[in-house]
Structure 1
Amino acid sequence: MDLMTLILFTIFIVGLITLITYHIKRLNLYRAAAKIPGPPTYPLIGNAHYFIGNTADIINKVMELLSAYPSVIRVWLGNQLFIGITDPELVKKVLLSPKTIEKGDVYRFIRPWLGKGLLVAPAATWRAHRKIITPTFNIRILESFVEIFVEQCEILIKEMEVELEGNEFDVFDYVSRCTLDIVCETAMGVSSKVQTRKNSPYLDAVKTITEILYMRMFKVWLHPDIIFYCTSLAAKQKNCLKYLHGNTDNVIREKRAQLNNSPDLKNTKSSEKEKIQRKAFLDHLMELSDEETKFTDKELREEVNSMMTAGNETTAVIDTFAIFILANFPEVQQKCYDELCEIFGDKVNEPTKITRDDVRRMEYLERVIKETMRLFPVGPILVRNVTDDLDIEKCVLPKGSSVVIPVIKLHRREDIWTNSVEFDPDRFLPDEVAKRHPYSYIPFSAGPRNCIGLQYAMMSMKVLLASVLRKYILYKDSKIQIKDMKLKADMLLKPVNPIKVKIMRRKKIN
């Protein structure tokens, strides 16, 4: 046997031993998976062939598979085992268990963007950071942002005036610019003025990077870094990250300088003093961090970018779906407007500022928003890693697998939600809520790792929708059935076709 043959033979034996050892270590995983129903699998790719196509095809295929296997389903993406569940009690067990507190491995693709921010942080980092960050989301601080919500929504109303009495127009562009202006001011304390500009590099970068990330999550051949970073997608992602990180880093540097040169408030006018004292999340984070737990500039950037992502894109999508609902169902819109008339009286169409107390009284509008999030959950799929075997009664989730909670399917289960694809805000009356399992509705996730900004989001959405309804009547040329809405998932749930509405100026109440 010559030297080359010996080398090749040695490589083959080492490779074979490595492969056998790898599979022996995973025997528990294979045995558990065999007990769970699921579609037929193929060598190497598993069920990855089901997810070939665009992001609309992927969400449709997910819904089809969940309909075929309504309780628990097993799916392999390459060598990764995913177990989907839609039973509220099982969902509760998963979201409350310390064995499933880690976000799924697929979230690692987001870390070049958000690093170890709360959205995707490993459990140990998440626990430490959440403890520090939670005080910045207390109700007093959140309510201090209402004035910012109102100011930016007033600009939105003015910008939309060009569409008066015209054809249907894409409402998301207007809304996303408004929510970006809001989140820039509340999260970073800077005025971006995106609404009054033609172009927004930030929005363009976010749109591009979210499409790339979601595509990579479901395309198993793009999982290995060595392959992904050889593609044109990686180059696009790099450019987006350079802009997004640079933008936040510049703000942090400016904030550091401001902290070192704080203004003397004694001789400052009261209006200017209020603006100086009205602090953004970034200001609070810098002040709350003590010497032992002080955030580095990199950690600050990761947390601020996480807040920016959650505060802008998510609320913009929900607001847009809600505007569609209001335009599509005139009777719902009228009830919302009637509630606003009760709150503001004959000043409902006047430029009267919305106050914190006004926001609290918008109960029917809140139910409309909740029902919108039931039908169109902005985070349609949650994924958690299983770090140790977890018995959830119907099956054992084996260590090394990932558990998938398809929120959109959970929110449309006919056995929980009668006529599940019909819009009915009264599902969220207190008596109705009490009848349902608390984990049958989780638009902001649930358990200890739920979304920290749910109150912030609800307040900002109420102000935006109320501002629009006080000024304009929303309507569509023809009604669309919710079951006919085509959806896609570019990380967030979105409509395939842009949501378009018409607006007409409301007549002032005499």
Structure 2
Amino acid sequence: MDLLKGCILSVVLIILYWFLWRRRNKRVLMLATQLPGPTALPILGNALMFMTKPEEQLKKIAALLEQYGDYIRFWLGPDLVIVIKDPNDIRCLLTSNKMNQKGPAYDYMTPFIGKGILTGGPKWRVYRKIANPSYNKKSIETFKDVFNEEAEALTNVLKRRDYNIFNVYFDVLQCTTRSVCRTLMGLSKDDIAELKHLDEVIHETQNIYSLIFIKMTRWWLQIPFIYWLTGNYRKQLYYQRIVDKLITEIIEKRRKSLSNEENYGMSVVDRFILNGLSENEIKLESFALFTTSQEASAKIASGVLLFLAHLPEWQSKVYEEIVQVMDDDSLSEDQIRGLQNLDMVYKEVLRYLSIAALIQRTVEEDVTISNGKFTLPSGTVVAIPIHEVHRDSRFWDEPLKIKPERFHPENQKNRDPNAFIPFSLGAMDCLGRVYATTLIKTIVIRVLRHVELSAEGKLEDLDLHVAISVKFAKGYNLRVRPRTNK
């Protein structure tokens, strides 16, 4: 009887809370009705619709966009989520000073990288301002020799490979990791060799991202007791521990060397130290920049190599272009930018394999979209499905096919430029976009000069894994063979 009374009381309290919440949020509810979307249940909203496998949730959003158009709203409990696919509104929102806060999905990354440059938070502008000089053109010019040296080392590894198919990602990841350690982290080769936990962190990085994604997309894992009971909390603590040990090692090495360094060659870790950040802030921001720089660059560079392996005619074009331009062992930044065929392939990889499948922003002040037709109230979560924008047939001819020529200057004239947003836009765009582009293209140039690439089957038939980012589900599998025509 007591149990029955308790259940009845709980139901009454929930219903009461629901009515009070609706009364307090009358304006938000009214504005939400202006936007199309599925019918929401009391209290739960549309949460049941998304209680599916994590990899199916973005497909649900894609289906809703197909059904309702460029603007859809749904409720996750009391949270209003607006998905927007119109390119012009995307640009307006991402560059608006009313949207300079990340969405709640980024909170699941904070155990590893805190509330900073990547995830947003009260001090993200401060952190970004401190880090920015390490990513400007002057700094990247000083990184050129390191990029070429590490790309050459990767090429030598690939030349020793037999002609069997293998996943090139792991070799590329070693290259991008060492490049990031020697540039952004400010470490020497000897320093890198002494890092006890580097290989362990590299090995577990994909598992860290997977853990973040499943917690982000499985509501029951957001209940602390269940998260602990399933063993995921224990995994998180292990990952946090090895990350902390690695970054502590890096910071200790930089503190010892800092007094002998010129400001011109200062690493991003040095900048955090000298600007008086706390030890925890330095660790979190340093790891955020470390992992996003080496891991994302490796995926994109591997994607470019795989595209070229599957597209022999484009591989020939890019190779011939490199040979014509490259008159010594390295290319200047201007020469790299002038490699038009390589740039087309690179951009097609960014389109097909979005660095971020979906990004979120929180509305800090009411803002209108669709030429004033809809008003997004303060507190609304805006979701921008970059993966879907990059595959919208209104902007992309045969979007499911791989066609680097779509980025030829002549073919871009009539396409909405806002339909291609690989690095986001606005004040919170990708800090490392120029750094990554230079590193990735240097890797491809070096590898292609000395190695021929090949692969089996069709690119479009390879399964994609769409989660935090978009990647090939079974890796970046190809063959390599040393070139005979130098």
Confirm whether residue 280 of structure 1 aligns to residue 267 of structure 2: yes
Work out the CA distance in 2 between the residues paired with 1:277 and 1:131: 16
Q: Are the counterparts in 2 of residues 110 and 213 from structure 1 also a CA contact under 8 Å?
A: yes
1:100 corresponds to: 99
- Aligned-pair CA distance for 1:227: 4.2
- Aligned-pair CA distance for 1:432: 4.3
Q: Deviations over 1:350-402 (max 9, x none)?
A: xx344545434333212211121012111110111122322113422222221
Query: What is the one-letter code of the residue matched to 1:89?
Result: N
Work out the CA distance in 2 between the residues paired with 1:329 and 1:99: 44
Work out the CA distance in 1 between the residues paired with 2:179 and 2:19: 55
Q: Which moved more, 1:447-456 or 1:94-103?
A: 94-103
Q: Residue 376 of structure 1 is aligned with which of 322, 338, 353?
A: 353
Q: Are the counterparts in 1 of residues 357 and 467 from structure 2 also a CA contact under 8 Å?
A: no
Query: What is the one-letter code of the residue matched to 1:386?
Result: V
- Aligned-pair CA distance for 1:42: 4.1
Query: What is the one-letter code of the residue matched to 1:283?
Result: D
- Aligned-pair CA distance for 1:226: 5.1
Work out the CA distance in 1 between the residues paired with 2:381 and 2:169: 33
Q: Which moved more, 1:106-115 or 1:172-181?
A: 172-181
2:380 corresponds to: 401
2:57 corresponds to: 58
Work out the CA distance in 2 between the residues paired with 1:366 and 1:492: 21
Aligned residues: 480
Q: Partner of 1:252: helix, strand, or coil?
A: helix
Query: What is the one-letter code of the residue matched to 1:308?
Result: F
Q: Are the counterparts in 2 of residues 29 and 400 from structure 1 also a CA contact under 8 Å?
A: no
Report the CA distance shift for 1:171/1:65 in structure 2 as closer, same or farther (over 3 A).
farther
Report the CA distance shift for 1:390/1:477 in structure 2 as closer, same or farther (over 3 A).
same
Q: Are the counterparts in 2 of residues 148 and 182 from structure 1 also a CA contact under 8 Å?
A: yes
1:272 corresponds to: none
Report the CA distance shift for 1:357/1:4 in structure 2 as closer, same or farther (over 3 A).
closer
Work out the CA distance in 2 between the residues paired with 1:106 and 1:211: 14
Q: Are the counterparts in 2 of residues 78 and 220 from structure 1 also a CA contact under 8 Å?
A: no
Report the CA distance shift for 1:468/1:54 in structure 2 as closer, same or farther (over 3 A).
farther
1:271 corresponds to: none
Q: Partner of 2:382: helix, strand, or coil?
A: strand
Taking structure 2 as the reference length, what is the TM-score of the superposition? 0.89
Confirm whether residue 179 of structure 1 aligns to residue 179 of structure 2: no
Taking structure 1 as the reference length, what is the TM-score of the superposition? 0.85
Q: Are the counterparts in 1 of residues 310 and 456 from structure 2 also a CA contact under 8 Å?
A: no
1:47 corresponds to: 46
Q: Partner of 2:98: helix, strand, or coil?
A: helix
Q: Partner of 1:98: helix, strand, or coil?
A: coil
Report the CA distance shift for 1:101/1:199 in structure 2 as closer, same or farther (over 3 A).
closer
1:436 corresponds to: 415
Q: Partner of 2:120: helix, strand, or coil?
A: coil
2:336 corresponds to: 359
Q: Partner of 1:35: helix, strand, or coil?
A: coil
Q: Partner of 1:413: helix, strand, or coil?
A: coil
1:339 corresponds to: 321
Q: Deviations over 1:421-467 (max 9, x none)?
A: 33333433445445433321110000121111110010001011111
Q: Are the counterparts in 1 of residues 134 and 267 from structure 2 also a CA contact under 8 Å?
A: no
Q: Which moved more, 1:309-318 or 1:40-49?
A: 40-49
1:319 corresponds to: 301
Q: Deviations over 1:288-344 (max 9, x none)?
A: x3xxxx322222222211111220111111112212211111111111101111112
Q: Partner of 1:173: helix, strand, or coil?
A: helix
Work out the CA distance in 1 between the residues paired with 2:235 and 2:309: 37
Q: Partner of 1:73: helix, strand, or coil?
A: strand
Q: Are the counterparts in 1 of residues 393 and 399 from structure 2 also a CA contact under 8 Å?
A: yes
Q: Partner of 1:100: helix, strand, or coil?
A: coil
- Aligned-pair CA distance for 1:148: 1.2
Q: Residue 307 of structure 1 is aligned with which of 264, 289, 312?
A: 289
Confirm whether residue 469 of structure 1 aligns to residue 467 of structure 2: no
Report the CA distance shift for 1:63/1:19 in structure 2 as closer, same or farther (over 3 A).
closer
Q: Are the counterparts in 1 of residues 159 and 481 from structure 2 also a CA contact under 8 Å?
A: no
Q: Which moved more, 1:467-476 or 1:25-34?
A: 25-34
| Structure 2: gaps (5+ residues) | none
Q: Deviations over 1:33-78 (max 9, x none)?
A: 3332223444554333444454433343333333223311123333
Work out the CA distance in 1 between the residues paired with 2:6 and 2:453: 74
Report the CA distance shift for 1:441/1:10 in structure 2 as closer, same or farther (over 3 A).
closer
- Aligned-pair CA distance for 1:106: 1.4
Work out the CA distance in 1 between the residues paired with 2:14 and 2:388: 42
Report the CA distance shift for 1:198/1:83 in structure 2 as closer, same or farther (over 3 A).
closer
- Aligned-pair CA distance for 1:239: 0.7
Report the CA distance shift for 1:373/1:7 in structure 2 as closer, same or farther (over 3 A).
closer
Report the CA distance shift for 1:169/1:119 in structure 2 as closer, same or farther (over 3 A).
same
2:77 corresponds to: 78
Q: Are the counterparts in 2 of residues 474 and 504 from structure 1 also a CA contact under 8 Å?
A: yes
Percent same amino acid among aligned pairs?
27
Q: Are the counterparts in 2 of residues 56 and 487 from structure 1 also a CA contact under 8 Å?
A: no
Q: Partner of 1:324: helix, strand, or coil?
A: helix
Q: Residue 491 of structure 1 is aligned with which of 460, 468, 473?
A: 468
- Aligned-pair CA distance for 1:131: 2.4
- Aligned-pair CA distance for 1:6: 12
1:161 corresponds to: 159
Report the CA distance shift for 1:61/1:171 in structure 2 as closer, same or farther (over 3 A).
farther
Q: Partner of 2:480: helix, strand, or coil?
A: strand
Q: Are the counterparts in 1 of residues 197 and 242 from structure 2 also a CA contact under 8 Å?
A: no
Alignment of 1:198-217 (within 5 A): 200-217=199-216
